Structure 1
Amino acid sequence: MSKPHSLQMRELRLIQLYSNWEFSMTPTQFYAKWGVSYEQIALICFRSDSTVRSWFRTNRNRRYPTHNDLRHLALMDFLLEHFEEIPEHLRRLLCLSNSQ
């Protein structure tokens, strides 16, 4: 077993930046921009179809996405916008090299 990397100033700064990152997109914004189905949003956010449908309700049974759901949608939006710009070696690291 290898010894864990010790955190240096660079890593501590990155952790701080990440923890304050305002990277989010609402389901409504994503749906309007990409014309996806609720089922596709559920797949992106690792949620059930019924959970995603509840995000779009306007009555008292409405539920709200978590911060993680908003981050998943923002990341997917980023990938959809910039996939071709990502260098091949980074795509491999992201396990996206076989996707087109």
Structure 2
Amino acid sequence: MTPQALGRRELALLQFYCGCQFSMTPHAFYARWGVTHTQIAQICGVSEASVDRWFSHGKHRRVAEVRHRRKLAEMHFIWEHYERVPLELVAYICSPPPNGQVPSP
């Protein structure tokens, strides 16, 4: 199969995507949702110790990377808008869960 060439539409969408700042800080996420550090770690795919460092002060403090802030923004989006996203789109974007059942709205 030959890769599809990028047309005007794709190039415009590429520019749009590259400028998209889909991000949420751990502090903003924690303030918005009643989550634990363990749950934030699960969402971001990091250890709980990493999350603890994001919330610490002093020399051990770390800043969440862009990829982690994007994961938090994605989870926030899902929690805020899941019922409005068509199930076909959810199935296309997300891998099916182990039980094969996509949560219904």
**Pairwise same-fold verdict (TM > 0.5):** yes
- Listed as ranges, the matches of 1:17-36 within 5 Å are 17-36=16-35
Unaligned runs of 5+ in 2: none
Q: CA RMSD in A?
A: 1.4
In 2, the alpha carbon distance for the partners of 1:69 and 1:61 equals 18
Count of matched residue pairs = 99
Deviation (angstroms), 1:35? 1.0
Unaligned runs of 5+ in 1: none
Instruction: Give the structure 2 partner of residue 98 of structure 1.
Output: 102
In 2, the alpha carbon distance for the partners of 1:7 and 1:15 equals 10
Alignment partner of 1:44 is 2:48: no
In 1, the alpha carbon distance for the partners of 2:103 and 2:62 equals 32
Identify the range of structure 1 (89-98 vs 67-76) with the bigger mean alpha-carbon deviation: 89-98
Identity, in percent, stands at 41
Identify the range of structure 1 (77-86 vs 38-47) with the bigger mean alpha-carbon deviation: 38-47
Deviation (angstroms), 1:80? 0.5
Tell me, what secondary structure is at the counterpart of 1:5?
A: coil
In 2, the alpha carbon distance for the partners of 1:4 and 1:52 equals 40
Alignment partner of 1:72 is 2:76: no
Deviation (angstroms), 1:5? 1.4
Deviation (angstroms), 1:18? 0.9
> What residue identity is the alignment partner of 1:18?
Y
TM-score w.r.t. the length of structure 1 is: 0.90
Alignment partner of 1:55 is 2:54: yes
